[in-house]
Every structure is written in C-alpha cells, then in structure tokens.
C-alpha cells in the first residue's frame, strides 16, 4: 500500500466556502512539496474524536488551520499555544510534530497588521471604528492593542452588545483596553471622525447590496477595511470608494494569515516569488 500524502487542512463548520485549499495547494505545487491541503468539515460532536485521531502515530496530518466556530475551543486539545494566541484566546493554526505534539498559533492578528503595513496605514494616534465582535474581531483587536503604534481610540459596535463586552473583558486580562469604548449604536461609532473603519462582521458576505453603514458618513481621509472578500467589492467598499476613501477587502488578510501559517508548518520563511504566486492565485484564480 502506498503511504498517504502528507496532509494539511482546515477544520471548521462550514468550511466549503474556504479559499485556503486553493492557496495552499498552489503553494505546495510551487514548492514541489508532496503534500495536499484538504477541507475538514467537523461538527461540534466530532471535534474530540477528530483530535484523538490526530494524536495517532500513523496520522498523516501535520498542520491545520482552524476556522469558525472552533478558534477558541481547539485550545483545550493542544499541548501548547503561542503567547499571542494565549492573549487573544484564539488559534487559527496548528503545527503537529513527529511525536504528535500539537502547538497552536494565531496568524489572523499578525496577518492583519502585515496587510496594514502593505496599505501604508500607521495606527499610531489614529481613531479606529470596528463593526462586529466575533472570532475575527478577537485577533484583530488584540493585535491593535498590543502594537507599539498605539491608536488614540477604538470604538466597537456589535449587534449583540454583550458579546463585545465579553470580548473586551477577556482581552483586559492580558492587555491595556483603556482606549476601547463599546458603543450602543452605529451612530456612536463617530465614523465621520475616524481614520480607519473595519468591518469584521459577515454582513455583505455573498450579499453585494448589504451594508450596515450610511455612505454619507464615509470620507476621503479614511481607510475602509472589510474582512469579507466575497464579493471582492462589498457595498461598504463601493460606498467608500465613491466617497474617495481608501479601501481594502479581506483577500489581503487571507493572504498574510495563510503565508504565516505555511511558514509555521515549514519552519522557515517562504521565498518572495512563491508569496507573489500565491497572491496572484488568490486574486486571479489558478491559470491552467
Ligand atoms: N479575510 C479573511 O482572511 C477572513 C478571516 C476570517 C474571517 N473572515 C470573515 O469575517 C467574517 C466574520 O467571521 P468570524 O469568524 O468573526 O464570525 P463570527 O465569530 O460568527 O462573528 C460574526 C460577526 O458578524 C456579526 N453579524 C452577523 N450577521 C449580522 C447581521 N445580519 N447584522 C449585524 N451583525 C451581524 C455578528 O454579530 P452578533 O455577535 O450580534 O451575532 C458577529 O459580530 C466572515 O464573513 C468571515 O468569512 C475573513
């Protein structure tokens, strides 16, 4: 019997929409690595048996990404987690060694900051407004609190206010959250005064006409960042572009967090030509 290929993949539910296989399989091909990246749709009751299997010596899985809704709950199944993942209480990357020891990392936060660098946006002294308080917000917010280029203020609006309160409360055990204010309505975000608006909700996902924001509040002296990348231009980004604001969709975050995951699995930095090919695949699809 031939030995199964070294396997990587993404666990979550649902995962069918994920672009991660496209990106990582393209990377393996370019790197001439005999490995495959798969989708692992895992329901809540299957999580524990999945991790039991992962511990077995004959498992051929050596790395995983983690997505909705398990970024927090996988932590209980790991042997160790990185200091940043511990502070954010969110793991999106797992490295599995030959002894089947599992180490967790979070690359969403550093990936988001890397994209801000590419966009030439310095957070120091800036006024930031955030829509949402889900799993993605956790890593983004933690990195914005820990970065030396400290923003002046961060305002958060979430449809379910208690979730925003729990998020900030959790982070307060590990970092200064004194400049964060949870606001009860979108109007209180003061979008017309902010330098960076980040949509971390799924509003606009596969819904090109959906947005929570009144376009008249957007202005040309701001960056509007939407973590959604399907469609590439959400209604929020369209309104922002029409007002002359700088815009960015979630493909940059997807790219940087994925590159950082790959680097954790490979234990080394990827050559820039490979990174460029992966970016091209994400932006334009695979050219046969
Ligand atoms: N670009 C990337 O690489 C990347 C990475 C991760 C995630 N994402 C995208 O980010 C989005 C959020 O992911 P997540 O993991 O943070 O999900 P999540 O933990 O389920 O959080 C979803 C967030 O969206 C809010 N929301 C959902 N529907 C809403 C509605 N109709 N009106 C107002 N608020 C609504 C939720 O508010 P409540 O708390 O009130 O429910 C919550 O704040 C998804 O679209 C995901 O695809 C992109």
Q: What is the pLDDT of residues 118-134, one digit of tens each?
A: 999 999 999 999 999 99
Please report whether residue 1 resides in a domain: no
Amino acid 17: pLDDT:
87
pLDDT of residue 287: 61
Query: Any catalytic annotation for residue 71?
Result: yes
Taking the CA atoms of 84, 90, 92 and 97 in sequence, report the sign of the dihedral they define.
positive
pLDDT of amino acid 288: 56
Tell me the two tokens of residue 203.
């509003």
If asked whether residues 87 and 161 sit together in one domain, one would say no
Ligand 1: residues whose CB is within 6 Å?
68, 132-137, 158-160, 163, 200-203, 205, 227-229, 250, 253-254, 257
Residues 131 and 95 in one domain: no
Q: pLDDT tens digits, residue range 21-79?
A: 999 999 999 999 999 999 999 999 999 999 999 999 999 999 999 999 999 999 999 99
| Helix (H), strand (E) at residue 80 | strand 80-81
Residue 3 in this model has a pLDDT that exceeds 60: no
In angstroms, the CA 265 to CA 283 distance is: 23
* pLDDT attached to residue 1: 41
Domain range for 65 = 6-106+258-284
Q: Phi/psi class of residue 43: alpha, beta or left (left: φ > 0; alpha: ψ in -120 to 50)? A: beta
Q: What is the pLDDT of residues 236-249, one digit of tens each?
A: 999 999 999 999 99
Q: Which of 71, 87, 126, 275 is catalytic?
A: 71
Closest CA to 258 of 72, 66, 84, 74: 66
Residues 29, 139 share a domain = no
| Ligand 1, atom 13: closest residue by C-alpha | 136
Residue 154 pLDDT exceeds 80 = yes
Query: Does 242 share its domain with 275?
Result: no
Summary mean pLDDT of the chain: 96
| 174 shares its domain with 186 | yes
One domain, residues 155 and 62: no
């Amino acid at each position: 019997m031939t030995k199964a290929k070294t396997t990587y993949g993404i666990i979550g539910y649902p995962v069918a929409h994920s672009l991660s296989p496209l990106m990582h399989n393209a990377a393996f091909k370019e790197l001439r690595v005999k490995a495959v990246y798969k989708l692992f749709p895992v329901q809540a009751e299957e999580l524990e048996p999945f991790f039991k299997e992962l511990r077995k010596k004959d498992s051929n899985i050596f790395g995983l990404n983690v997505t909705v809704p398990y970024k927090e709950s996988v932590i209980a199944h790991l042997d160790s987690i990185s200091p940043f993942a511990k502070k954010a209480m969110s793991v999106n990357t797992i490295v599995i060694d030959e002894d089947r020891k599992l180490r967790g990392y979070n690359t969403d936060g550093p990936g988001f900051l890397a994209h801000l660098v590419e966009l030439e946006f310095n957070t120091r002294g800036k006024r930031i407004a955030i829509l949402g308080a889900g799993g993605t917000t956790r890593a983004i917010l933690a990195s914005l609190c820990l970065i030396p280029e400290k923003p002046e203020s961060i305002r958060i609006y979430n449809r379910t206010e208690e979730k925003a309160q729990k998020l900030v409360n959790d982070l307060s055990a590990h970092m200064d959250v004194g400049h964060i204010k949870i606001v009860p309505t979108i109007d209180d975000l003061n979008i017309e005064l902010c330098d960076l608006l980040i949509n971390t909700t799924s509003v606009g996902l596969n819904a090109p006409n959906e947005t929570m924001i009144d376009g008249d509040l957007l202005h040309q002296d701001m960056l509007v960042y939407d973590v959604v990348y399907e469609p590439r231009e959400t209604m929020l980004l369209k309104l922002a572009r029409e007002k002359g604001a700088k815009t960015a969709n979630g493909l940059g975050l997807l790219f940087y967090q994925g590159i950082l995951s790959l680097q954790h699995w490979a234990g080394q930095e990827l050559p820039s030509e490979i990174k460029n090919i992966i970016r091209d695949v994400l932006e334009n699809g695979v050219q046969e």
